[in-house]
Amino acid sequence: MLGKLLKYDLKWSLKLICLFLGIGLFLAILGRVLELCPDSMFFTILIGIIKGASLSLTITGVFNAVIRSWVRFILNCYKDESYLTNTIPVKRSTILLAKSLNALIVITLSIVMLFINLVIMYYSQETLDAIKESLNIFSNAMDISVVGLIISMVVVILLEVLFLTQAGFFGIVFGYSYNKNKLALSLVFGIVSYVICSTLSVVALICMSLFDEGLRGIILGGTGVIDFTLLKVLIVFAIIIYFVYIVVLYFITNKKYTKGINID
């Protein structure tokens, strides 16, 4: 049943997101093809406009992936489709899991498409060499492979967006447990959970800096000399802390959601 729920969620979510991503991809390819045209101010301006529109549409697709995950959850579990959703013989934990997996898939797809569009629009041997040189500098300084550096950066970005999305689910479940001002309360609960987790991250970093002079210099300021090995520590810290936040928020949300819901 989880597969069927996920199938319907993905079909609903991707209907609009694929439109943004598809047009963005088309414009990225078009902009790159137009670079074969004669070098003139007209084509330079036109290519800039097309590439800018492609980038805007793809970024909009990422934002829509997050927002539509929340909207799908509200409509499917608390609004128009809630009576059908909550009467089918499926555990509420399964329903929430389907919504979370739907968010994971559409957000990952949108972020991957964003990187693909960037490669299509701006790839060149000079750009590639410049990126390789920069990555090699950072990877050598951080004592990590270039592939490992790229993967870790992508994972941090993905986990941060998923953390934001899970905070939204948390806010919706707690906000819609009230009888009035449900949407406003959802927003409040979501923002508060995000702020609390972010504050805990800052506190954790400050506590860590008490035992590391280099980290203290990065956080509180000091000589201005950055030890790049500490950046590897910060990346690992970000991956761990975001993963912990996502898991904790998910289990708290699941516990609240499975207790019962308040349908409009």
pLDDT in tens, 107-163: 999 988 988 888 888 877 777 677 777 777 767 766 777 777 778 888 898 899 999
SS3 content of the chain, % helix, strand, coil (to 5): 85, 0, 15
Q: What digits encode the pLDDT tens for the residues 98-123?
A: 999 999 999 999 988 988 888 888 87
Q: Mean pLDDT across the chain, nearest whole number? A: 83
**Cα diameter, the chain:** 65
pLDDT at 218: 63
Local confidence band at 186 (pLDDT 50, 70, 90 cut-offs): very high
Q: pTM score, two decimals?
A: 0.83
pLDDT at 2: 81
Are 27 and 47 in contact by the 8 Å Cβ rule? The answer is no
Please enumerate in sequence order all residues whose Cβ is within 8 A of that of 32, keeping only pairs 6 or more positions apart, or say none: 120, 121
The dihedral built from the CA positions of residue 202, 208, 213 and 214, taken in this order, carries a sign that is negative
Local confidence band at 262 (pLDDT 50, 70, 90 cut-offs): low
pLDDT at 75: 85
Neighbours of 214 (CB within 10 A): 17
Please enumerate in sequence order all residues whose Cβ is within 8 A of that of 126, keeping only pairs 6 or more positions apart, or say none: none
Please enumerate in sequence order all residues whose Cβ is within 8 A of that of 231, keeping only pairs 6 or more positions apart, or say none: 138, 142
Q: Looking at the predicted structure, is the pLDDT value of residue 227 above 70?
A: no
Q: Distance between CA atoms of 59 and 63, rounded to whole angstroms?
A: 6
Q: Report the percentage of the chain scoring pLDDT > 70.
A: 86
Q: Looking at the predicted structure, is the pLDDT value of residue 217 above 80?
A: no
